Amino acid sequence: MENKNKFNVTDETAWCPGCGNFAIIDSLKNSLNELDLDPYKVLVVGGIGQAAKTPQYLNTNGFCGLHGRSLPPAVAAKIVNKELTVIINTGDGDAYGEGGNHFIHNVRRNVNVAHFVHDNQIYGLTKGQASPTTEKGQVTKVQTMGSVNLPMNPILLAISLGAGFVARSFSGRKDHLKEMMKKAIEYNGYALVDILQPCVSFNKVNTFQWYNKRVYELEKSYDEKDRLKAIEKSMEWGDKIPIGVIYKENKSSYTDNINFLSGEETLVDMSTSLDTVRGYIQEFK
């Protein structure tokens, strides 16, 4: 970790040696640094889980809320103060499992936040149960007969829901990850980066090597604007796993859509005058 990085604050974490989270937090710090953001203007939100501890280790504003509930406070904070750069770092269980309903509806809401899912295909903090992205058949201490559920494809799901920025990266490709993060942060609207992340303690299937062998960067020629193609691309999983911006489309975000939020002034600085309220009361006469 570069010491001059202004987002550095500690090297002490509760993560296991060898965990993919280290590379993710490094890439995050580097992307924030390269975007030259001011720490006090950045808010990083997590739920609960190993990934969700990220805000604890950053020199930014931080909000560690409830398991599965990272998106609602994050988008609300952005709506209230769009001068904040709002980023969500959280686990696959948090984002797609307990938090699934917020995931699907916040894609629809399209608030300008960047959502970084540390997708280790497992529940880390609770010691290794299946997550929504765990492969079918994988045996755990709870899925003793193997997971029977079809794994979720978050990339495909997000595109289907109408997300305007959908990317995948891998904690083993720090520079690529950093670039994805920067693009997601700069994108105006909800931006998802699903980050493949080895969990050395509990996921013995999807290891660093497993991912490393499979991931490949999208070809230069790939057209990230073609939705149907993007959907097709997002179905690629197995021997080859594409990383990069799978789909991108520019559109107006939540605050652009509501006239009083679209200007310079942020909601946190607005005030309803008492005279206005007096008028409302009169209407009941």
Partner 1 sequence: MDYNILIGGSAGQGMETISSILEKILQKRRYEIFTTRDYMSRIRGGHNFIQIRFSIDKITSHSDKLDLIVALNEETIDIHKKRLKNKGIIIGEKDFNYNDKKFMGIPLNEISKKIGNLRVKGSIAVGSVLKLFGFNNDFIMDILKKTFKKDELITVNMNAIEEGFNCLEKIFDVPKGNSKDKILINGNESIALGAIAANCKFYSAYPMTPSTSIMTYIASKMEEAQIVVEQAEDEIAAINMAIGASYAGVRAMTGTSGGGFALKVEGLGLAAMLETPLVIAEVQRPGPTTGFPTRTEQSDLKFIITSAQGEFPRMVISVKHPEDAFFQTVRAFNLADKYQIPVVIMNDQFLADYTTTVDPFDIDKVTRDRYIDNFIHGEYVRYKITKNGVSPRIIPGKIKDKLVLVDSDEHDESGHITESAEDRVKMNDKRMRKLDYLKDELIEPDFFGNKEADILLLGWGSMHGPLKEAVKELNILNIKTKALVFGDIWPLPTKLIQNEVKGINKIINVEQNATGQLNLIIKEVLCVSCTDSILKYDGRQLSAGEIVDRVKNIIKLK
Ranges within 16-55 binding partner 1 (CB under 8 A): 16-17, 38-41, 43, 45, 48, 50, 53, 55
Does 136 bind partner 1 (CB under 8 A)? Our answer is: no
Which residue among 43, 48, 71, 87 contacts ligand TPP (CB under 6 A)? 48
Amino acid at 12: E
Does 199 bind ligand SF4 (CB under 6 A)? Our answer is: yes
Backbone angles phi, psi at 263, to 5 degrees: -85, -160
Backbone angles phi, psi at 127, to 5 degrees: 80, 40
Interacting partner of 16 out of ligand SF4, ligand TPP, Mg ion, none (Cβ under 5 to 8 A depending on kind): ligand SF4
Which residue among 21, 30, 70, 131 contacts ligand SF4 (CB under 6 A)? 21
The four Cα atoms 157, 159, 163, 167 give a dihedral, to 10 degrees, of 90
Residue 277, H or E segment: helix 274-282
Whichever of 99 and 244 has its CB closer to Mg ion, that residue is 99
| CA 32 to chain CA centroid, nearest Å | 15
Q: How far is CA 240 from CA 223, 234, 237, 244, in A?
A: 18, 11, 6, 13
Which residue among 28, 79, 156, 180 contacts partner 1 (CB under 8 A)? 79
Stretch that binds ligand SF4, among 1-9, 64-72, 76-84, 193-201 (CB under 6 A): 193-201
Whichever of 102 and 178 has its CB closer to partner 1, that residue is 102
Interacting partner of 188 out of ligand TPP, a copy of itself, partner 1, none (Cβ under 5 to 8 A depending on kind): none
Dist. CA 285–CA 282, nearest whole Å? 5
> How is residue 70 annotated by DSSP?
S
Interacting partner of 201 out of ligand SF4, a copy of itself, ligand TPP, none (Cβ under 5 to 8 A depending on kind): ligand SF4
Ranges within 105-144 binding ligand TPP (CB under 6 A): 118, 120, 122-126, 131
Does 31 bind ligand TPP (CB under 6 A)? Our answer is: no
Whichever of 73 and 93 has its CB closer to Mg ion, that residue is 93
Looking at the DSSP bridge assignments, the partners of residue 241 are 215
- Tell me which residue has tokens 């202004």: 6
Dist. CA 181–CA 35, nearest whole Å? 10
| CA 45 to chain CA centroid, nearest Å | 10
What is the binding site for ligand TPP (CB under 6 A)? 48-51, 67, 91-94, 118, 120, 122-126, 131
